[in-house]
Amino acid sequence: MTPNTKGALLMMGSMAAFTLNDTLVKAALQDLRLFQLVAIRGVLAVILVYLLARSLGALHLNFPHHDKWLIALRCLAELSATFFFLTALKNMPLANVTAVLQALPLTVTLGAALLFSEHIGWRRALAIALGFAGMLLIVRPGPAGFSVYSVYALIAVASVTARDLITRRMSTDVPSMVVTLATSASIALAAAVASVLEGWVPVSVATGSLVAAAAVFVLMGYLFSVMVMRQGDVGFVAPFRYSSLIWALGLGWAVFGEWPDNLTMLGAVLIVGAGLFTLLRGRSRQPAE
């Protein structure tokens, strides 16, 4: 199996796992408080990650000190992404939040250009602008269709962008399981502290089962998201990120009876189209750009 094929499969697996996790979390948030849910899910995820890492012999810190700082920064970015994304998810349709997240390839490309001086050319710059226009169709700033939770979704996009850029700066000496365990533990600890202030409510067997299943899927999503950034050509692998929108549309309709309106669908099409063009254009690296 080629690195590109592995990367594509890992990306699709990551998107499926995260979207299934989002669906379960959104359902569980009808009965639980946000930090309580994240704390319970986080503890379960840490246990699962630790047992898996121990069985694989992947728990070691024999890598440069510079990478340890990058792991810490990645955990902070993931903490921010978790809070803002789940708050938006609780209050917005699943497909709408997922559609906003489809701007990630655009924001990562723009971030790499601004931070790492990577050349993007005018065509990809125009595609990024069109993608952001599509995002505005979903967010809809203005008194008519605006929701403050749309801003939360945008902050989540910025946080995940930072997370992915940080991950790409790590050396290959850092085990993916160590990054996954550090991320899971930091989120669980922060949520546990915040949940004390927020307060807890009783957890039913049905709701607890949803959270347990979400923990399994979020573990898979974390692990695959770290591994995918190290497999294959990003221009080939990244377009498979858009498979999450298909999952979100289907699950949002089947589980919550949600279906995006025409403007949201148009915005999603613009974002996906612009993202695909940006990624494929970057892959070709044509001098004429």
Asked whether residue 145 carries a pLDDT value surpassing 60, the answer given is no
Asked whether residue 42 carries a pLDDT value surpassing 50, the answer given is yes
Tell me what pLDDT residue 286 has: 45
Tell me what pLDDT residue 137 has: 85
**What percentage of the chain exceeds 70 in pLDDT?**
92
Least confident span in 14-18, 108-112, 256-260: 108-112
Distance, in Å, from the CA atom of 272 to the CA atom of 266, rounded to the nearest integer, reads: 10
pLDDT digits (tens, 9 = 90+) for 95-104: 999 999 888 8
Distance, in Å, from the CA atom of 85 to the CA atom of 141, rounded to the nearest integer, reads: 18
User: Is pLDDT larger for residue 5 or for residue 205?
Assistant: 205
pLDDT digits (tens, 9 = 90+) for 233-289: 766 777 788 889 999 999 999 999 988 888 889 999 998 888 888 767 666 554 444
243 burial type by CB count under 10 A (0-12 exposed, 13-18 middle, 19+ buried): middle
Distance, in Å, from the CA atom of 259 to the CA atom of 270, rounded to the nearest integer, reads: 18
Asked whether residue 26 carries a pLDDT value surpassing 60, the answer given is yes
Give the tokens for residue 192. 């546990």
Domain ranges (residues) in the chain: 3-284
Q: Which stretches does DSSP call E strand in 162-233?
A: none
Asked whether residue 146 carries a pLDDT value surpassing 90, the answer given is no
Mean pLDDT within 185-207? 92
Name the CA radius of gyration of the chain, rounded. 19
Tell me what pLDDT residue 210 has: 93
Query: Buried b / exposed e across 49-65, counting CB within 10 Å, b at 16+?
Result: bbebbeeeeeeeeebee
Distance, in Å, from the CA atom of 208 to the CA atom of 140, rounded to the nearest integer, reads: 35
pLDDT digits (tens, 9 = 90+) for 173-185: 888 888 888 998 9
Tell me what pLDDT residue 132 has: 87
Asked whether residue 119 carries a pLDDT value surpassing 70, the answer given is yes
What residues contact 140, with CB distance under 8 A and at least 6 apart? Answer: 146, 150, 263
Which of the four pLDDT bands, split at 50, 70 and 90, describes residue 135? confident
